[in-house]
Amino acid sequence: MSEKVPINHLRELESEAIFVIREVVAQFENPVMLFSGGKDSIVMYHLARKAFYPAKVPFPLMHIDTGHNFQETLDFRDWLVKETGVQLIVRYVQDSIDQGRVVEETGYNASRNKLQTVTLLDAIEELKIDCAMGGGRRDEEKARAKERFFSHRDEFGQWDPKNQRPELWNLFNGRKNIGEHFRVFPISNWTEMDVWQYILLENIAIPSLYFSHEREVFERDGVLYAKSPYIKMKDTEKVEKRIVRFRTIGDATCTGAIESKANSVEDIIREVAATRITERGGRADDKRSEAAMEDRKIEGYF
């Protein structure tokens, strides 16, 4: 009798995520996949392509553009769309500001990150979206650890962590009332290390921001921020050139860099294995309060 070939844990995670994505297409009429240009959404889109190959991905990507993105991220997003032919929907926070739907923050710590929620919920209502897949992972932050694969949102787009559908094994319940929708997280069980190992295994292209490069940065409250026209600097803050990279990619006003010499995926994997700082330790939006992420998610955030 031949020995059983052990299934690599990455292939198990891949299989689980593909199953979840196919369940979305089976249960919902008008799903989208949220796409930020970060590694998690890139991996999720890669999985979606595998799920339906050789057919095209049967739903569009949707980017909620704060207007304060890193240019490298936008360049990568546009390249990927052109390369794969996927439909891309973009909605802009600036439009929400111009329409009076949200008020832009002011001051040194002003950010448009939280304002994305209104733009996202308006897009979901406008386009009659009944499911928005996201790249959130349980290991990222304690509020995200409460999310199920299929996460219910009420008619106001809000999340109630005490009102989640039970998930029995791999039986997902997408039942909803009119006006409600679901958020679905196909890579919820993945860790940051899993994502990087899978990127290496599948040779997936990612934005240059993830690799070490020289950049003008300044330090505030222990976080290195890239010099940006979107961030108001204090007189005491000093811009200097350092060799940095980013572990997460989000709004430039709240995403911190780390000093690093990792310029390959292999280097990044070794760095992630050795670090004692959490992946979102450099995110100012998570530092606003102990429950910052949960508060945003209850309001309808990603």
Strand partners, 217: 226, 240
Are 220 and 245 in a shared domain?
Answer: yes
| CATH number of the structural domain spanning residue 134 | 3.40.50.620
Are 127 and 212 in a shared domain?
Answer: no
CB atoms within 10 A of CB 115: 22
Judge residue 108's burial from the number of C-beta atoms within 10 Å of its C-beta, 0-12 exposed, 13-18 middle, 19 or more buried: exposed
Domain assignment of residue 2, yes or no: no
For residue 152, which phi and psi values (nearest 5 degrees)? Answer: -75, 145
Q: From start to end of the chain, where are the E strands?
A: 31-34, 61-65, 88-92, 131-133, 150-153, 181-184, 213-220, 223-226, 240-245, 258-259
Structural domains in the chain (count) = 2
* Residue tagged 């290390």 (tokens): 193
Domain assignment of residue 4, yes or no: no
Distance between CA atoms of 93 and 278, rounded to whole angstroms? 28
Are 176 and 229 in a shared domain?
Answer: no
Residue 205 zone, left/alpha/beta (φ > 0; ψ -120 to 50; rest): beta
- pLDDT at residue number 288: 61
- pLDDT at residue number 284: 62
Are 111 and 49 in a shared domain?
Answer: yes
Whose CA is closest to 37, among 3, 66, 63, 67?
63
- pLDDT at residue number 1: 40
Are 120 and 138 in a shared domain?
Answer: yes
Which distant-in-sequence residues (6+ apart) come within 8 Å of 20 by Cβ? 149, 172, 184, 185, 186
Are 57 and 159 in a shared domain?
Answer: yes
Are 110 and 78 in a shared domain?
Answer: yes
Q: What is the DSSP string of 283-297?
A: BGGGSSSTTHHHHHH
Domain hosting 231: range is: 207-287
Strand partners, 132: 32, 183
Domain assignment of residue 155, yes or no: yes
pLDDT digits (tens, 9 = 90+) for 18-42: 999 999 999 999 999 999 999 999 9
pLDDT digits (tens, 9 = 90+) for 79-102: 999 999 999 999 999 999 999 999
Domain assignment of residue 151, yes or no: yes
Are 33 and 75 in a shared domain?
Answer: yes
Domain assignment of residue 262, yes or no: yes
The pTM for the full model equals: 0.90
Domain assignment of residue 73, yes or no: yes
Are 149 and 74 in a shared domain?
Answer: yes
Are 175 and 109 in a shared domain?
Answer: yes
**Ranges of residues in the chain whose predicted pLDDT is under 70:** 1-7, 280-293
Angle 192-202/39-52 helices, nearest 10 degrees?
50
Q: Residue 200 is which amino acid?
A: L
Are 139 and 268 in a shared domain?
Answer: no
Are 20 and 36 in a shared domain?
Answer: yes
Domain assignment of residue 26, yes or no: yes
- pLDDT at residue number 161: 78
